């Protein structure tokens, strides 16, 4: 038992040691993506991400950091006028997310991000819908995943994806009933009228106290028309 614990401690130390630089880089890129413009700096990041050993131990922190870095680089690529650069960044992000899912197939955020990348590459396809369904199945009640999933699913309304509205309604219902009032209000004022109707449908049947809290929060966020 002592030997097993010692081995486990050693492995944990190695994984944590390797994850540290990736975590720090992910945090830096997530807070300052727009400033990452130095090609030499990006080249160093690419060399680190091309290390085949990154995913070998499936460390959750390392995998999440690698995915965050890759998605931040994808965001940066959209500041470039070169379509080839964006396509390469999309392909690399897709590959990283797929490798992340091989380690953690029940990660709803990875499935959501993969659906977004797939949509950027191919438009609204059945693959995008299935990835969105996988995200819902893996993370049905995590607000930090639900909120961006609602924002993304809202973009799919009006497409040929018949399941997009169903997923959207499930998420909106869940958020309205159990999520933070501020999240509900922020989303309501940011979406278009067809999605607002889905929110209003979900508001029906709420207890009076929560309904009033949400309506009040929405009213505080709606601009008041200027008087002449």
pLDDT digits (tens, 9 = 90+) for 157-173: 988 888 899 999 999 99
Q: How far apart are CA 211 and CA 202, in angstroms?
A: 10
Average pLDDT over all residues of the chain = 82
pLDDT score, position 56: 75
> Higher pLDDT residue, 11 or 92?
92
pLDDT score, position 103: 93
pLDDT score, position 224: 53
Task: Check pLDDT > 70 for residue 14.
Answer: no
pLDDT digits (tens, 9 = 90+) for 108-130: 999 999 999 999 999 999 999 99
Domain ranges of the chain: 11-104, 124-223
pLDDT score, position 52: 58
**Global pTM exceeds 0.85:** no
Task: Check pLDDT > 70 for residue 185.
Answer: yes
What mean pLDDT is predicted for residues 90-97?
94
Binning pLDDT at 50, 70 and 90, where does residue 15 land? very low
> Higher pLDDT residue, 171 or 14?
171
pLDDT digits (tens, 9 = 90+) for 24-79: 666 666 665 444 556 666 666 677 666 656 677 788 888 888 888 888 888 888 87
In terms of Cβ atoms closer than 10 Å to its own Cβ (0-12, 13-18, 19+), residue 195 is buried
pLDDT score, position 68: 86
pLDDT score, position 108: 97
């Amino acid at each position: 038992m002592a030997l097993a614990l010692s081995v486990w401690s050693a492995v944990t130390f190695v994984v944590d040691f390797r994850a540290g630089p990736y975590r720090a880089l992910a945090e830096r890129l997530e807070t300052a993506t727009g400033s990452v413009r130095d090609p030499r700096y990006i080249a160093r990041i690419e060399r680190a991400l091309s290390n085949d050993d990154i995913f070998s131990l499936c460390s959750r922190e390392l995998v999440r950091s690698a995915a965050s870095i890759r998605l931040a680089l994808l965001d940066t690529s959209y500041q470039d006028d070169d379509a080839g650069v964006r396509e390469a960044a999309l392909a690399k992000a897709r590959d990283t997310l797929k490798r992340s899912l091989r380690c953690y197939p029940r990660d709803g955020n990875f499935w959501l991000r993969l659906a977004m990348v797939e949509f950027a590459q191919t438009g609204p396809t059945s693959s995008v819908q299935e990835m969105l369904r996988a995200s819902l199945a893996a993370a049905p009640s995590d607000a930090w995943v639900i909120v961006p999933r609602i924002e993304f699913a809202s973009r799919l309304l009006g497409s040929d994806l018949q399941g997009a509205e169903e997923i959207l309604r499930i998420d909106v219902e869940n958020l309205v009933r159990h999520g933070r009032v501020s999240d509900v209000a922020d989303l309501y004022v940011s979406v278009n009228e067809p999605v607002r109707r889905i929110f209003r449908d979900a508001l029906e049947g709420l207890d009076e106290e929560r309904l009033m809290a949400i309506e009040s929060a929405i009213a505080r966020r709606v601009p008041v028309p200027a008087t002449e």
